[in-house]
Amino acid sequence: MPSIPDIMASLGAWLAGPLEFDFMRRALLASVLVGALCAVIGAFVVLKGLAFIGDALAHASFAGVAVALVGGRDVYAGGAAAAVFAALAISFISQRGRVRADTAIGVVFVAMLSFGVLVMSRLRNYSASIFEFLFGNVLAVGPEDLWLIALGGAAIVGVIALLYKELLFVAFDPAMAAGAGLPVAFYETLLLVLLAVTATLAMRALGIILVAAMLVTPAATAYLFVKRLHHQMLLGALIAIGASVAGLYLSFYGNFASGATIVLVSVGIFLLALLVAPRTRRGGAPLRAVLEQ
Amino acid sequence: MEPLPAVGSATQPMPAALTITGLTAGYRDVLALDEVSFSVPRGALAALIGPNGAGKSTLLQVLLGVLKPWQGTITVAGHPAGGAGRFGYMPQSSQVDWDFPVTVQDVVAMGRYAHRGPGRRLGAADWAAVEQALVQVGMETLRERAIGALSGGQRQRVFLARALAQEAPILLLDEPASGVDALSEQAIISILQRLAAAGTTIIVATHDLASAAEHFSYVLCLNRRLVAAGPTDTTLTEATLNATYDSRMVLVRVGERLYAVDTGHHG
């Protein structure tokens, strides 16, 4: 029977194994940063039902990525420009109120994704590039990518911290926020722009299809346990960090795709949380309200 | 029928806190408010009454600045409000996301947010106002509770406290008594009466005609157009009510209470 020091030693070796590689150290840092960032802004995504928008913005960024690749420009700049453009377009269309917001989102995102595929189909080996951008390859994160994720993520979290009370007010009660004199449309648009930049930063690590999963899952898990918004952000970030680390190790030893493994681990945590989360505090209220009407 | 003469007559020497002129508004191309004009004197406790679809909510939305009017002007204490003035607001209970992760104190503190610009934290004066508002509605012991865990009456009192903490010159309340027991309703109304006596102008959208007649100093009768606006005693008549509700109602006074009894079908 192995002794406790033996187990500790082999566990240590198991944990240290991937970290011998530069690319794995970068991958770990990138996944952790991207996961935490997604969870923080994900609190708004979960509370305001923005999952479809988050997904759409990530897909829309593909148009910019494709143009940047073909034109030999920076893919992050291209992706961010396209995603921010989509955010502004969605915001403009839905605030005008001519068509339902989800229709506007659907049209914008399909158009931009198709345009991206169209542009990229001019490249040789385009299907390999498309796969990498759609599903992510955190192992390909370079030192510059890591810096960009760290600085961009810090900027987004900084903006959220600075404007926390305004973003909370507008998210919780836009009517009163407007009555009190806050520029509600500005803050709603700002949130979409932050979401667009987040989706672009997460592109390398998670891929544009899996970004939406990390925007929703850790924040939704945290939501089950908290009663204040900033607690949801903090707990969500911790959950995302845990899922990223666990997911990356599993993908390393199991030779699985990293983004998908991280997402599946965070979904697993969510399902566990559903079983153990307190039921009485808020649970059932919406259903009861619906039934009473 | 002829709109009754509006407001501000010789009996009310106080300056108007809120004046609305020729206000027309709607959603997409559906007209909800048609050339509405009235003014409300400072310190009035005004009941905004009218049938479903009369434009009560639309009027509140326009005042809050959520909905842009098609035409018309809003002036607050003589200054153009430009749609988004400084209004306190208590939403209808059904409009609130009770599953949002905020505590009682978080919600009341929102009343102070507009007092501090972006990037600035609440100060000692703000927290004092929050504290005072919590005490005024008797919610100070429940401050740490998530709003979703409150009873119906407690929920309303939290939002009333938020409106109090804001110290706005004009308060707008949307059906504050819905889903509330009689005791809580009485508590809400007596707080509103004290506020009005201290100079706050209050507009309450309500379906409760008896309460309007008994507790409110002023009524605004709306049915897409303004039917009447004025002091309750002279304005809330059978003729006004029937014009407002397209109905044949009779007002019955039993002791202090006034009851509106519908004697015919709605038009």
B101 to A182: CB separation less than 8 angstroms, yes or no: no
In a domain, A160, yes or no: yes
Q: Does A158 touch chain B (CB under 8 A)?
A: no
Q: Kindly report, residue by residue over B70-117, the tens digit of the pLDDT.
A: 988 888 877 776 544 578 898 888 888 889 999 999 999 999 998 888
B64 to A176: CB separation less than 8 angstroms, yes or no: yes
* Helices B104-113, A164-172: inter-axial angle, 10-degree rounding: 110
Per-residue pLDDT, A69: 84
In a domain, A232, yes or no: yes
Q: Which of A162, A179, A289 sits opposite B88 (nearest CB)?
A: A179
Per-residue pLDDT, B82: 52
Domains identified in chain A, total number:
1
Tell me, rounded to whole angstroms, the distance of Cα B176 from its chain centroid. 8
Residues in chain A within 8 Å Cβ distance of B86: 179-181
* Mean pLDDT computed over every residue of chain A: 86
Homologous superfamily of B1-86+169-267 in CATH?
Answer: P-loop containing nucleotide triphosphate hydrolases (3.40.50.300)
Per-residue pLDDT, A272: 94
Interface test with B, best of A44, A176, A233 (most B CBs within 10 A): A176
ipTM comes to: 0.82
CATH number at residue A152: 1.10.3470.10
In the predicted model, is pLDDT for residue B8 greater than 50? no
- Round to whole Å and give the CA distance between B129 and B148: 23
Q: Give the three-class secondary structure for B224.
A: coil
Q: Does A231 touch chain B (CB under 8 A)?
A: yes
Q: Which residues contact B13 (CB under 8 A, 6 or more apart)?
A: none
Q: How many CB atoms lie within 10 A of CB B42?
A: 17
In a domain, A13, yes or no: no
In a domain, A293, yes or no: no
Structure tokens at A232: 């949801």
Structure tokens at A131: 């796969």
In a domain, A281, yes or no: no
Per-residue pLDDT, B131: 94
| Nearest CA among A36, A23, A88 for reference residue A198 | A36
Q: Does A279 touch chain B (CB under 8 A)?
A: no
A175 to B106: CB separation less than 8 angstroms, yes or no: no
Q: What are phi and psi of A204, to 5 degrees?
A: -65, -45
Looking at the complex, report in whole angstroms how far the Cα of residue B258 sits from the nearest Cα belonging to chain A.
Answer: 28
Token look-up 């108007």 returns: B16
In a domain, A10, yes or no: no
In the predicted model, is pLDDT for residue A159 greater than 50? yes
Tell me the pTM: 0.84
Per-residue pLDDT, A208: 83
Domain of A113, in residue numbers = 21-274
At A287, the pLDDT band (50, 70, 90 cuts) reads very low
Residue B29 or residue A244, greater confidence: A244
Residues in chain A within 8 Å Cβ distance of B88: 176, 179-180
Q: Which residues contact A35 (CB under 8 A, 6 or more apart)?
A: A214, A218, A237, A240, A241, A243, A244, A262, A266
In the predicted model, is pLDDT for residue A31 greater than 90? yes
Q: β-strand B218-223 against B225-231: which pairing, if any?
A: antiparallel
Q: Kindly report, residue by residue over A59-117, the tens digit of the pLDDT.
A: 899 899 889 888 888 888 899 999 999 999 888 887 776 677 788 888 888 899 899 88
Per-residue pLDDT, A283: 43
Q: Which amino acid makes up residue A11?
A: L
Per-residue pLDDT, A92: 84
In the predicted model, is pLDDT for residue B10 greater than 80? no
In the predicted model, is pLDDT for residue A279 greater than 90? no
Q: How many CB atoms lie within 10 A of CB A203?
A: 28
Parse chain B into domains and list their residue ranges: 1-86+169-267, 96-167
In a domain, A3, yes or no: no
Q: Kindly report, residue by residue over A128-156, the tens digit of the pLDDT.
A: 677 778 888 888 888 888 999 999 999 99
Structure tokens at A235: 């707990």
Q: Which residues of B143-157 are buried (b: 16+ CB within 10 A; e: fewer)?
A: bebbbbbbeebbbbb
* Helices A164-172, A143-162: inter-axial angle, 10-degree rounding: 70
DSSP lists the bridge partners of residue B89 as B172
In the predicted model, is pLDDT for residue B259 greater than 80? no
Per-residue pLDDT, B264: 60
Does residue B173 contact residue B202 with C-beta atoms inside 8 Å?
Answer: yes
Q: Kindly report, residue by residue over A46-68, the tens digit of the pLDDT.
A: 998 888 888 899 989 989 988 98
Residues in chain A within 8 Å Cβ distance of B101: 47, 223, 226-229, 231-232
Does residue A201 contact residue A152 with C-beta atoms inside 8 Å?
Answer: yes
Per-residue pLDDT, A284: 40
In a domain, A79, yes or no: yes
Structure tokens at B205: 């959208």
